[in-house]
Chains A and B, each alone.
Chain A
């Protein structure tokens, strides 16, 4: 079945970096955009970035520009998100999510989500 499986929980100190992975299966990896969305404890959803797995082209929310890097490995069907200069405000559950239609057809919401990766930042 179509699924996204994320890497495990991380605990980091302020100033450190974290790299979270998201491995796709059950569909053609290069055909669908992948997003990263995070959710701080008790808060709402915050969009971070998107990648076209076919071309590697990315777009970032202004809040994360320069601090977040999204990459992909087409040989393993995996997308990565690297967040640097972590602060306590980055403590959140990080989700990867797939666009619901192939890239050539536009954007119609995110229909497949990973299980979430908890990133905790504390000294």
Chain B
């Protein structure tokens, strides 16, 4: 049902770097629509992590960064910390006027080993 495709899970050791991919189509990311990323820990509401592809809201560490290329986007987390263990979602906008205008990825569970 999700409009964007993410890997179900990724993992890394403390201090390492991980990357989470988000694959869209020519009607969303490929059409130039902005990509945003959210972090969600169990039992809590999502938190905006990255907006407009690679901008961090106040308070988000610069260990988190985003990028786009063609119909895909990526979230990179460097210097992994145990508190980074969470679910991560990408979000964009579908210009095709069918389905849903706001589209989310299915989410990626990050495990810090």
Contacts and interface: CB of A to CB of B under 8 A. Distances in A.
Given A111-B48, A116-B45, A47 B103 contact: yes
Contacts of B50: 109
Contacts of A50: 101-102
A10 B47 CA distance: 24
Interface string A32-54: 00010100000011110010000
Q: How large is the interface on A (under 10, 10 to 19, 20 to 34, 35 or more residues)?
A: 20 to 34
Interface stretch (B16-24, B68-76, B77-85, B92-100): B92-100
A50 to B, nearest CB: 7
Contact of A108 (B1, B34, B45): B34
B45 A113 contact: yes
A48 B60 CA distance: 27
Contacts of B104: 37, 44-47
A20 to B, nearest CB: 14
Contact of B48 (A46, A59, A100, A114): A100
Interface of A: 35, 37, 44-47, 50, 59, 61-63, 95, 97, 100, 107-111, 113-116
